[in-house]
């Protein structure tokens, strides 16, 4: 059995993809990966094809702490066509100096005396000036030696309030560099990386296997807990069974998975029936019509099924609660609601309920004690 320890917050990060990449794209298929590095661990995504706008759709889970930062690095696989691009960036070799042609030595003696006048010494033709090297505008010009194209730095404290217990989508600039003719590099923004983030706050007392394991589970759990807080229907029924030993007229509301009875005077809840435990809802008129068919359910001794406009909720161990409505129209509406609910109620995980209660408490605080406004749900850093 797991022992409760110190609770830590979780941060779910989903890299949706890259948008508006401003680099020359090779004609050949080029593989790219994204690596998350938080200084302790690094995880690399499967390869995806490089394009101007590409989908990565990879999720990461991090443990929250005060100085949580991480980088997302895009790296290109150095295939043969990338290596060829890198070679094209190298300047051509300097031409070899041409040898100097010397004048012939003068002849000695009388022959030299009667020879023609000496010729001027011939000089080597200087080589033509080397044209400045032009760098081809290819992808390799933007890559580091290990294939790194660009990276983004995320400081979690900058967005913690915006993704606290909710999904937050944002984008960060991808910073890279370009090789220049001088041999230096120019730092520049090459596009943006799009993320979804969700902070799950510390929840003391909840076991780790009861916590969500993905961003989708977080989103789904909060959607479900919100479903359980909605009033879907209300009206008046007369009830027999459950906490009612005799027929009792009640004002009832369907709130999430519960059928709640309210006092007409105080307006406070007096009883709750958990509809998640119900296994069926039956129209008593349908049951009575089929009572003579083989294998039909036997009628109750007290004749409750004979009550007009009545129906019943059936629970395990043959437990039943009977109701009847004032009009046929009201009965039809109640049956529609119960049939839509029984057997179709979504779960309400404990962690999501605790977060909902936490948000309710924050909402009750005076405005000056609440956190600053989390801002829009989508934006750019």
111, pLDDT greater than 90: no
pLDDT at position 297 is 43
pLDDT in tens, 164-200: 999 999 999 999 999 998 889 999 999 999 999 999 9
SS3 label, residue 103: coil
Torsion, CA 357, CA 363, CA 368, CA 374, rounded to 10 = 90
Distance, CA of 248 to CA of 12 (rounded, Å): 50
**Domains of the chain, CATH where assigned:** 10-87+135-208 (2.60.40.150), 228-341 (2.30.29.30)
Cα–Cα nearest to 158, from 199, 126, 100, 117:
199
Find the mean pLDDT for residues 19-47. Answer: 95
pLDDT at position 124 is 55
pLDDT in tens, 272-322: 999 999 999 999 877 655 443 334 344 454 456 678 899 999 999 999 999
Find the mean pLDDT for residues 263-278. Answer: 93
Find the mean pLDDT for residues 46-50. Answer: 96
Tokens encoding 193: 């990386």
pLDDT in tens, 128-167: 666 666 888 999 999 999 999 999 999 999 999 999 999 9
pLDDT at position 115 is 52
Would you say the C-alpha torsion 107, 112, 116, 120 has a positive or negative sign? positive
Lowest mean pLDDT among 264-278, 328-342, 353-367: 353-367
pLDDT at position 293 is 37
Average pLDDT, the chain: 85
CA distances from 119 to 104, 105, 106, 107, 125 (A): 9, 10, 10, 13, 18
Distance, CA of 338 to CA of 312 (rounded, Å): 10
CB 68 within 8 A of CB 156: yes
pTM summary value = 0.74
pLDDT at position 348 is 92
In percent, how much of the chain has pLDDT > 90?
Answer: 67
Q: How confident is the model at residue 90 (pLDDT cuts 50, 70, 90)?
A: confident
CA distances from 298 to 20, 288, 323, 335 (A): 70, 9, 18, 22
pLDDT at position 379 is 45
Q: How confident is the model at residue 361 (pLDDT cuts 50, 70, 90)?
A: confident
Distance, CA of 132 to CA of 93 (rounded, Å): 12
pLDDT at position 301 is 41
């Amino acid at each position: 059995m797991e022992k409760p320890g110190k609770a830590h917050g979780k941060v779910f990060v989903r890299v949706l993809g890259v948008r508006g990449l401003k680099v020359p794209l090779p004609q050949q298929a080029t593989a790219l990966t994204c690596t998350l590095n938080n200084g302790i661990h690094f995880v690399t995504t499967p390869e995806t094809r490089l394009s101007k706008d590409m989908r990565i759709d990879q999720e990461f889970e991090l443990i929250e702490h005060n100085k949580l930062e991480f980088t997302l690095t895009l790296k290109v696989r150095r295939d043969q066509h990338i290596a060829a691009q890198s070679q094209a960036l190298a300047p051509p070799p300097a031409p070899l100096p041409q040898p100097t042609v010397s004048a012939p030595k003068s002849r000695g003696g009388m022959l030299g005396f009667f020879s023609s006048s000496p010729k001027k010494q011939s000089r080597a033709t200087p080589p033509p000036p080397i044209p400045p090297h032009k760098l081809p505008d290819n992808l390799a010009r933007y890559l580091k030696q290990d294939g790194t194209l660009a990276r983004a730095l995320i400081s979690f404290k900058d967005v913690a309030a915006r993704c606290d217990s909710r999904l937050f989508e944002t984008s960060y600039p991808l910073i890279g560099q370009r090789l220049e003719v001088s041999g230096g590099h120019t730092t520049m923004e090459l596009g943006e990386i799009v993320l979804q983030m969700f902070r799950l706050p510390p929840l003391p007392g909840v076991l780790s296997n009861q916590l969500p394991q993905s961003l989708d589970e977080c989103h789904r759990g909060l959607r479900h807990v919100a479903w359980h807080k909605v009033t879907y229907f209300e009206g008046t029924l007369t009830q027999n069974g459950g906490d009612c030993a005799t027929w009792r007229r009640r004002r009832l509301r369907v709130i999430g998975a519960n059928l709640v009875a309210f006092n007409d005077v105080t307006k406070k809840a007096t009883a709750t029936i958990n509809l998640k435990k119900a296994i069926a809802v039956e129209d008593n008129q349908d049951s009575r019509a089929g009572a003579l068919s083989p294998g039909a359910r036997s009628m109750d001794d007290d004749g409750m099924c004979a009550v007009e406009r009545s129906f019943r909720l059936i629970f395990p161990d043959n437990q039943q609660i009977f109701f009847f409505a004032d009009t046929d129209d009201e009965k039809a509406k109640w049956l529609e609601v119960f049939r839509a609910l029984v057997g179709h109620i979504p779960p309400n995980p404990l962690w999501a309920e605790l977060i909902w209660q936490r948000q309710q408490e924050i909402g009750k605080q005076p405005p000056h004690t609440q956190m600053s406004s989390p801002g829009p749900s989508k934006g750019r850093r």
